[in-house]
Structure 1
Amino acid sequence: MEPLISQIPIHRNSAQHKWVSCCSFCTFHRWIPILTWLPKYNFRWLQMDIIAGVTVGLTTVPQALAYAEVAGLPVQYGLYSAFMGGFMYCVLGTSKDVTLGPTAIMSLLCAFYIGGDPVYAVLLSFLCGLIQVSLALLRLGFLLDFISYPVIKGFTSAAAVTIGFGQIKSILGLKNIPHQFFLQVYYTFQKIPEARLGDVVLGVSCMLLLIVLMWMKSTLPPLSEEHTTHVRVAQKIVWSAATVRNALVVVGATVMVFSLESADQHYFTLTGKTSKGLPPFRPPAFSEITPNGTIVSFSDIVLDLGGGLAIIPLMGLLESIAISKAFGSQNNYRIDPNQEFFAIGITNIIGSFVSAYPVTGSFGRTAVNSQTGVCTPAGGVITGVIVLLSLAYLMPVFYYIPKASLAAVIICAVTPFVDYHQVIELWRVRKLDLLPFMVTFLVSLWEIQYGIVAGILVSGAMLLYHEARPKIKVTDHGFLLMELDSGLSFPATEHLSHVIYNNALQVSPPRSVVLNCQHVSRIDFTVVNELRNLLKQFRLQNVTLIFSGLKNSLLEVLNAADLPQLQHTESVEAAFESLLGHTHND
């Protein structure tokens, strides 16, 4: 039986066709990707998804608590932000590996705009989600293409340095350290004599244990048929322990601290009191009453968030898209960027109803998810359930989590983002690309949000410079042959005119020119207007300007402009013959 949609007469260019296309079954599948893989779901996939979901869940809980600290929020807000992504992405996501939740970089960005205020954080999540969904519906994913790789690496490196050093205060047990990076460095070193010995010993011990477990995992040899069962089991135990190392370290530290606190021994700085139970499901607050009774309106909050409403949604999308593309390439599948925008946006909108702050894809947890053998996005549902169980039953225990252990988790999580190998590669491949990298990195150390903007501006200036100064190769054949290597647009007009005037019209005697446009694919009105002036000058000087290799689209534009005495040939050779014939006739 033919599908119903094929029985409807459609005019290809009509609004009716567009409406039917938008409402088609295929389009519905594209917007709800779970409909594509769920009918094929089987028991083996379920087994692998449960194993991966549990493993990622044990990694997510301690990281979520730690990242809430980075964002300047009570630790429970990390868990509030960590479960909705698993449920929503299962339905809307196009990558089997990606896990959505709080990340170090997004937490740091949020910290600059929310000022530790949960109302600001939750409303920011809602507004970010609206912006991201709008970008998806308008199919504006190409905007991320204007953020170059050096800018991304400069930003992530600076964020890792800022986040990592920001946790030194917790390792040392220091208080009242400013958030600004350079002030943070100064006051941290100034207050080293005030460090608490218990926090230092515990923090350094946790870091060493995490490093050892990471090293053990990275040095595990690949298994082969020659290995005995005991070797296989031992290697699996080591791999599993290293994979959930964050949970092991935090749980171990918490148990030790709880036993000491029960014996009235207070050596460590604790996380402290947290809210009990699951967050209420309610819309985000659009205004706030401060402790002194002042009402902060929605418009005031939006003004306070300022540039964060542009930077945070875009960086969230960029981080997640980069991760999903990387793992899609590694595991041989493709993602739909606009659908990813939609999934992240909906997650942030719904997440704001459970007191979440903005989330995005996590590289570390996605790597764990992939390595554990996840088969579908359903693994995220298992992770979400584990976070919900932690919220429901473990919140009183979180009081005893030492801040030094969470700081150790954060430092070890962000260290890999400081990738000096990329600096060496940029220097080796193209030294000029170190400029946006270094500008982004250095400015981000001052203010992380300005670093991104500065890097984009520098990259844009470099791009515009090449647009405004296309290479023009000039050779002498008795007359001049000028070859353009790219398109012509209005920034290049002055440069083209300058080259032609200096080489052909301001010499004695004036010289004819063949302008080879074989590689030119676009032209605009400013260029056409300048060509009109050039043709007039050539005519007054009694020399010729011939265009060769014009594409039909360019020829149509020039003909529409009705340029006086426009001469063009299909090839450079034909232009040469025309000029030589003109010379002989003279």
Structure 2
Amino acid sequence: MYFAHDVYATLLPVLNLAIPEDPGTIMWSVRVRLTTCCSYRTLQAWFPILTWLPRYRLSWLQMDLIAGLTVGLTTVPQALAYAEVAGLPVQYGLYSAFMGGFIYTVLGTSKDVTLGPTAIMSLLCASYVGGDPIRAVILTLLCGTIQTSMALLRMGFLLDFISYPVIKGFTCAAAVTIGFGQVKNVLGLKNIPQGFFLELYYTFYRIPEARIGDVVLGLLCLGVLVMLTWMKRTLKPRSEQGTTMARVAHSLVWSTATVRNALVVVVASLVAFSWSAFGSPVFTITGKTSQGLPPFRVPRFSETTPNGTVISFGEIVRDFGAGLAVIPFMGLLESIAIAKAFASQNDYRIDANQELFAIGLTNVMGSFVSAYPVTGSFGRTAVNSQTGVCTPAGGLVTGVIVLLSLAFLMPAFYYIPKASLAAVIICAVAPMVDYSVVQKLWRIRKLDLVPFLTTFLLSFWEVQYGIVGGVVVSGLMLLYNIARPHIKVSDHGVLVMELDSGLSFPSTEYLSRMLYTQALQDSPPRSVVLDCHHVNTIDYTVVNELRDLSQQFKLQKVGLIFSGLQPSVLEVLLAADLPGLRHTDCVEAALTILSSITASD
């Protein structure tokens, strides 16, 4: 199993070298490192397919095929719709939808997750590329490179600094922004300015210009999608004891509701084609799209404007600005959150850094086929899980379906009404508007509403400002808790001050003020026992302040004793050589010492 070990053992006799047995030698160290790095277990960690493929069962193949087919029929219409959200030609949605299935099959650690275009990533992409396909592809490459680098450096922990209220505030605002952004397509309005507030104003202002055909079709599509969604949600589990007819009916309803997006888009396209064939084009349709598979090529690193000006790669990167931080982070956050949720639901574990590697490499390779940034899709992952997928191999089937659509069905996409795609998007993002989260935050911890509302409101201005604003507010709240640790004061003849957290430099002034006001400025001054059994960290700034405080207590002829110091904290205080440092294992012992000192005085 240990390839490096075998090679090493084979080469040494040939080179007339003895295998070192002393663990202290350099050769032994090299041998151990090679054995560890190239072991089969390490290969399994980097390529999780090696874990499940050797034990793959034929019964799994049927479930993976069904799941892949179902997800594929969901992916195609959603990819076309999300390309509209990103402001790109619809074929770019399909260009972005197949690479994830192939890469994730080899590198992914979740059997359920599907990678591809999503509503949130499409909205973020629209904010930074302005509908320019060349910039979208460059952004994909840069995002993938950043994400892959983070995975190799094991930097997934950075995602822990984005709190739940910030995530929910952003997703709610993004859902409202995306959903309302599609109202213009339902109404058949054109040339509506970008930006939520401008869209809001001009959409209502131009309602009299709405096309009746688009309005009717859009509302019908919305009604059908809502009805099918409700049917699937209320459908009871199939009973094996029921009649054959009942089981068939159950499967038919479930299948129809699952592929509802594809069904609605196909029927709407047939309606639009029929009206156009009779010379009555009453719907706004997608129009001409590029046919065939995207060429596999290195992304272009510059672009030429219509007036002949060449924009360099450096200028494009500068234009992206904060997007190079926001988009990779949100892509990772969305994908890992989905993977963790379904891993918990289906009782298995994921490797967060490996997930980063999978999504990063998907974006890097996707840039070679003209994809825009992708991440994990909650809706399609849910479909994948509910259909009973057994391994990530279901993604292969989904990828093949997307490729077949690109190769043979692009001419048929000409007649897809924009109103039907808008209905698909609105129904997809509607569940993201979680009204109950406000009630939960109010009930559990009202202060968490501050980052939530900050993120929610700022996201309507610019999505990146919402995320950054929410993270900053959450960070300030976290720093405030560090700078103002809770200190419980009790009187036992002397003051006992119990600290509930670590001591670091932001809390120095607060701790010093508490000791001065509660003990040294009292008349007469009082001795203090600092109960530190909860304190597990301390830094130089705090130690330096404690040195001054010890001197002040000595001048006032009162005592300062530390109680319950953990070994790591005690080690720091001893290394600082504080004059007159006194410490005990418990508060009672400290009180006894101070009582005896007071009695002797």
Q: Match of 1:561?
A: 576
Tell whether 2:548 aligns with 1:536: no
What residue identity is the alignment partner of 1:170?
Answer: N
TM-score (norm 2): 0.96
Written as runs of structure 1 = structure 2, the 5 A alignment for 1:389-468 is: 389-468=404-483
Q: Does 1:315 align with 2:336?
A: no
Paired with 1:2 and 1:69, the residues of 2 have a C-alpha distance of: 50
- Using the alignment, how far apart are the partners of 1:78 and 1:10 within structure 2? 59
- Aligned match of 1:472: 487
Q: Encode CA deviations 1:105-155: one digit per residue, 9 max, x unaligned.
A: 000000000010001100100000000011101101110001011110110
Moved more, 62-71 or 457-466: 457-466
- CA distances 1:286-305 after superposition (whole Å, capped 9, x unpaired): 11111110001010000011
- Map 1:90-489 onto structure 2 (within 5 A): 90-489=105-504
Pairwise CA RMSD of aligned residues? Answer: 1.5
Instruction: Summarize the alignment of residues 493-532 of structure 1 with structure 2, pairs less than 5 Å apart.
Output: 493-532=508-547
- Once the two structures are overlaid, the 10-residue window that deviates more, 148-157 or 15-24, is 15-24
Task: Measure how far apart 1:222 and its partner are.
Answer: 2.2
Deviates more, 1:502-511 or 1:105-114: 502-511
- Please tell me whether residue 21 in structure 1 is matched to residue 36 in structure 2: yes
SS at match of 1:546: strand
Matched AA of 2:181: G
Residues 333 and 558 (structure 1), Cα distance of their counterparts in 2 relative to 1, 3 Å cut = same
Cα distance change of structure 1 residues 424 and 89 upon mapping to structure 2, 3 Å threshold: same
Q: Which amino acid aligns with 2:152?
A: L
Distance 1:222 1:35 in 2: 34
Secondary structure of residue in 2 paired with 1:399? helix
How far does the alpha carbon of each residue in 1:416-444 deviate from its partner, in whole angstroms, 9 at most, with x for none? 00010111111111111111111111111
Work out the CA distance in 2 between the residues paired with 1:179 and 1:418. 21
Q: Deviations over 1:47-71 (max 9, x none)?
A: 1111000100000000000000000
Distance 2:350 2:329 in 1: 18
- 3-state SS, counterpart of residue 497 of structure 2: strand
Q: In structure 1, the residue corresponding to 2:481 is in which secondary structure?
A: helix
- Cα distance between partner residues in 1 of 2:188 and 2:446: 42
1:375, 1:45 → 2: CA distance? 6
The CA deviation at 1:25 is 2.1
Distance 2:512 2:142 in 1: 48
8 Å Cα contact 2:119/2:429 also seen in 1 = yes
- Point out the more displaced range, 470-479 or 5-14: 5-14
In structure 1, the partner of 2:58 is 43
In 2, distance between residues paired with 1:358 and 1:24?
33
Runs (5+) with no aligned partner, structure 2? 10-18
SS of the residue corresponding to residue 415 of structure 2 reads coil
CA pair 432-200 structure 1, distance change in 2 beyond 3 A: same
Name the CA distance, whole Å, in 1 between partners of 2:505 and 2:255.
Answer: 59
Give 1:5 deviation, angstroms.
3.6
1:66 matches 2:99: no
Partner of 1:550: 565
**Offset from partner CA, 1:249-306 (integer Å, 9 cap, x none):** 0000101111111111110111011111000000111111111100010100000111
- For 1:42, give the aligned amino acid: R
Task: In structure 1, list runs of 5 or more residues that go unmatched.
Answer: none
Deviations 1:13-55 (A, max 9, x none): 9873455433332111100000111111121111111100010
Q: Tell me what 1:34 maps to.
A: 49
Conservation of the 8 A alpha-carbon contact between 2:331 and 2:374: yes
CA distance in 1: counterparts of 2:275 and 2:404, whole angstroms:
26
The offset of 1:219, in angstroms, is 1.4
How far apart are the structure 1 equivalents of 2:592 and 2:33?
52
Q: Report the 3-state secondary structure (helix = DSSP H, G, I; strand = E; otherwise coil) of the residue aligned with 2:583.
A: strand
Structure 1 residue 225: deviation in Å?
A: 4.0
Change (3 A) 1:123 1:2: closer
